Amino acid sequence: MIRSKNYRKNALLRKSKLVFTSERILNKRPKGNRCSPWGTMHLLLYLKILQDFESGELSPDQEVIFPKEVQNEFGTLRSTKSLWGEKRLLSEILNQAISFNAPDCITALFAVYDGWENTRKKLNQLAVQLNVSVFSRLAPTGRNKETQLTNIYDYYKIGLAFLELKPISHYFIKNRTHIIHDKVLDPPMDMNFDNTIISSIFWGTKQNDGFLFKKNGQIIECSLVINGDSIEDTVQTALNEIEIDDEFLSHQLEEEKRNVPFNEWLSSNFEGYFLNEKLLKKPLEVNHMALDMPMVEIRGMENVGIVSLKAEHYRSLIPYTSRNIHSNTAIMNSKSKNRISLIITDEPIVELQETIPQFIVPETLQFCHDYISYMREIYKGKLIGITGSAGKSSTRLMMSHLLKDEGSVWENYSNANLHYPTFSLSMEISNNYDFIVFEGAAAAMNSLGYGNNAYLWRPDVAIITSFGSAHAATGIERNLRVKKQLFYGVKEGGYAVINGDIDPEYLREFIKTAKSLNLTIYMYSIENTGLDCYVKNKKVMKYGTEVTFSLFEKEVSFVLKTDSDGQIQNAMGSLLALECIGFSAEKHAYKFSEYESFERILKPKQQRINGVEITLIDDTHNSSIEATINGINHFASKKKFYTGTKLLVLGEVADLQGQSVMQHKRLEPAINEANADKVILYGEPFKSVELVSRNVVHCETKEDVVQEIKKSITEDSLVFVKGSAGIRFYDVVDMLEKESIKQEGNVR
């Protein structure tokens, strides 16, 4: 039953359950974004200690001296009333912390790692490995704390880590009775009534969460319940004695929003108040929601509800920024205030209180999270999420192009795909749009703020375009862990569309994660004819490629102007995703003949330089090793259409740091097989690349690159330019274009 009109209590903090093994989830997943007000640090602490027991770093029998800090917990709820300087065995303190959810025992465990600061560092490292959100880690003991919120999938990932422990480790976390200071202390819930239960962890007051680990034959299952009404209710729910039903919740939420004015809906579902209710005499019209004024201006939005973040919350979503002003200042200084119909802020803007309605909330970032969750829960359209090392933006543009005649589309602008921009874009999720297509870099799904933005998106379809060394500065394995996070947001009954040409080592990991969440998996490939979608024939033309492919054993054809193998893969992934949301790939594939990508993706340009006509292919939008290999192969496929010299011009791939030389050496086979008349290279890593061709030139400056091109071109030359935007390699193209315009002007 719905307990009140407040959205947090109705839905976000609704009782929810996941039952899972180390292999897969066994029950239906919640229909919306579900969270708990409790934290994760206590669970990470228990997990870390058990891992260190198994590795031998810690001994269960070592003594722990209770630190001075336990005095602060002496009279608190569930305290075992431990004393400063008291000694107990580590295994006993660990079990007491778990059996009683005892804050003094949790605090005592910090002493194992030389105090809270060292403990915090170790637990944060573990949290990063598991991709557990920062805002779930605010309270050292896991207590409720302002801003703190833990997504059910953060708990799920911690639960999976407990399942990876050896069975013997569960002995240490099985709830049991203890004698402390001559008093018998029983755990709140006796779990001995079921001999299949091997351990359990419960936390929270009144609103209760818990892990319950059971043996089912040789397999250990975990039942995770959040927001139980009591520990008894949590246990009964975990054991399937109480059913959870949120089947009609989205309908109820939608009805509630539809039938009341916006201002009434806002104040009844989100904590806050209107600063000047006199301004509400006229109906409040809010057609869009945004987090920053530049997006309002770029998109030409009118009647906007603008949410104003305090500086610390802005910084929580953008690492390394030095911004230290409240967004109220940006709103005050904006020349587009006429576009604003509502300001949502945690600090009133007194100067605007007579002109623009203001809804004052305790915390605007928390409001954003809750607002997005509500709007996604009632959203009736289809949402597609996209990630990958290369091809994210192209695939997103292709999806939008295919869908534009079917309805309205909301998507990223340019390639704004990091955490803050995609969180900001999510504010606009609404039934104003038939389709939403979001691309996310790994950073969009990391642990910043409330964590993985895919939790909020809850895609119907998740597309993995590629995976490899792009942005390897953060570590390829870590990048893989984070890219997989897109799947955690996918709705029950959703789809994973995966590029089957990804390196098998990484492909297995994507498939494993998708299977664990019970997603329907479809795969596509240039070469593997055993997959759901594969290329049957390619006819390469001078300005495009005609592709015939099999999709679910149906033969489909299209012509693509931006036609590298990578772009063909992106097109196939888009058509597969289209099928997943109920549209026919056969009836839409023809639209690719009119598809235009970004200006600097495989863009052929006719230029006249030094009195000769050349074709320059500009592929400097951005770069990765995978995209560079695709580009080189594209160059090789187009050479036969040109009678002049064929020049392969490559700038280094940025953001590879310590792996730069090794990753650039992966380009050797493609460059050698391309058999260019001349290879012109720019960037230090290329100096370690070993090439067969003797006609290779290393340039120290971009101006040198331009001069080398001018020196080498002949009539009907093909010049392919590829390099990272991070090193501004597009400057080479711009300099050549200026040269062409200058020479044409002189001729006239």
Do residues 339 and 304 make contact, with C-beta atoms less than 8 angstroms apart? Answer: yes
CB within 8 Å of 87: residues ≥ 6 apart:
63, 64, 65, 66
Verify that 576 and 614 share a domain, yes or no: no
Instruction: Note the pLDDT tens digit of each residue in 467-514.
Output: 986 555 557 888 999 999 999 999 999 999 999 999 999 999 999 999
Is residue 636 a contact partner of residue 673, using CB atoms and an 8 Å limit?
A: yes
| Same-domain check for residues 543 and 466 | yes
**How far apart, in whole angstroms, are the C-alpha atoms of residue 298 and residue 304?**
13
Task: Collect all residues with Cβ–Cβ distance below 8 Å to 17 and sequence separation of at least 6.
Answer: 27, 223, 224, 225, 226, 237, 238, 244
- DSSP string covering 440-468, please? --GGGGSSSTT--THHHH--SEEEE---S
705: Cα within 13 Å, side-chain hemisphere = 27
Looking at 191, 206, 238, the residue that finishes a domain is: 238
Asked whether residue 475 falls in the same domain as residue 573, the answer is yes
Paired strand residues for 345 = 360
Q: In degrees to the nearest 10, what's the CA dihedral of 453, 459, 463, 466? A: 10
Domain-located, residue 95: yes
Last residue of a domain, which of 370, 392, 422? 370
Residue 409 shares a structural domain with residue 483 = yes
For residue 288, the cross-strand partners are 304
653 against 8, higher pLDDT: 653
Domain with residue 635: its CATH number is 3.90.190.20
Look up residue 629 and give its amino acid: I
Contact 717/612 with Cβ under 8 angstroms? yes
Radius of gyration of the chain (CA): 29
> What is the tens place of the pLDDT at every residue in 299-340?
999 999 999 999 999 999 998 888 899 999 999 999 999 999
pLDDT classification of 655: cutoffs 50, 70, 90: confident
482 and 351 share one domain: no
Q: Does the residue 208 lie in any domain?
A: yes
Strand partners, 183: 180
pLDDT band at 244 (very low <50, low <70, confident <90, very high): confident
One domain for residues 40 and 62: yes
Type of residue found at 76: T
Residue 243 lies in a domain: no
| pLDDT at residue 623, as a whole number | 84
- What is the structure's pLDDT at 4? 37
Whether 362 and 447 map to the same domain: the answer is no
Determine the length of the chain: 748
**CA-based nearest residue to 235, from 271, 209, 216:** 209
Is residue 286 classed exposed, middle or buried when 0-12, 13-18 and 19+ CB atoms within 10 A define those classes?
middle
Dihedral sign, Cα of residue 81, residue 84, residue 87, residue 92:
positive
Predicted confidence (pLDDT) per residue in 333-386, tens digit: 999 999 999 999 999 999 999 999 999 999 999 999 999 999 999 999 999 999
Domain count, the chain: 4
Q: Is 244 a domain residue?
A: no
State residue 321's pLDDT score: 87
* Continuous segment of H or E residues that includes residue 664: helix 660-665
- Give me the pLDDT at residue 656, please: 85
Contact assessment for residue 614 and residue 737, using Cβ atoms and an 8 Å cutoff: no
Domain match, 459 and 318 both: no
Cα–Cα nearest to 396, from 459, 452, 458, 463: 463
With respect to residue 2, please indicate whether it lies within any of the assigned structural domains.
no
Within this chain, do residues 541 and 623 fall inside the same structural domain, yes or no?
A: no
Question: What is the chain's mean pLDDT, rounded?
Answer: 94
Higher pLDDT, 554 or 193: 554
Of 172, 571, 232, 260, give the one whose Cα is nearest residue 394.
571
150 token code pair: 């833990």
273 plus 327 within the same structural domain: yes
Distance CA 46, CA 174 (A): 12
Tell me what the mean pLDDT of segment 74-101 comes to. Answer: 96
Which residue reads 């590629």 in tokens? 466
> Can you give the CATH number for the domain in which 438 is found?
3.40.1190.10
Work out the pLDDT band at 2, boundaries 50, 70, 90: very low
CA distance 27 to 245: 13
The per-residue pLDDT for 743 is 76
200-243 pLDDT, tens per residue? 999 998 889 999 999 999 999 999 999 999 999 999 999 988 88
Query: Any idea what the CATH number is for the domain that residue 68 is in?
Result: 3.40.710.10
Residue 268: exposure state from Cβ atoms within 10 A (0-12, 13-18, ≥19): middle
Domain-located, residue 352: yes
Helix segments in 56-102, DSSP class H: 90-100
The letter for the amino acid at 338 is N
Do 258 and 164 lie in one domain? The reply is no
Please indicate, yes or no, if residue 416 is contained in any of the structural domains: yes
Q: How far apart are CA 493 and CA 486, in angstroms?
A: 15
Q: Which residues pair with 646 in a beta bridge?
A: 718
Statement to judge: residues 179 and 288 lie in one domain:
no
Tens of pLDDT, residue by residue over 696-748, are: 999 999 999 999 999 999 999 999 999 999 899 999 999 999 988 877 665 44
What's the pLDDT tens digit per position in 657-703?
788 999 999 999 999 999 999 999 999 999 999 999 889 999 999 99
pLDDT at residue number 748: 41
What is the domain extent for residue 400?
379-594
- Note whether residue 1 is domain-resident: no
Q: Which of 335, 370, 405 is the last residue of a domain?
A: 370
State pTM to two decimals: 0.93
Per cent of the chain over pLDDT 90 is: 86
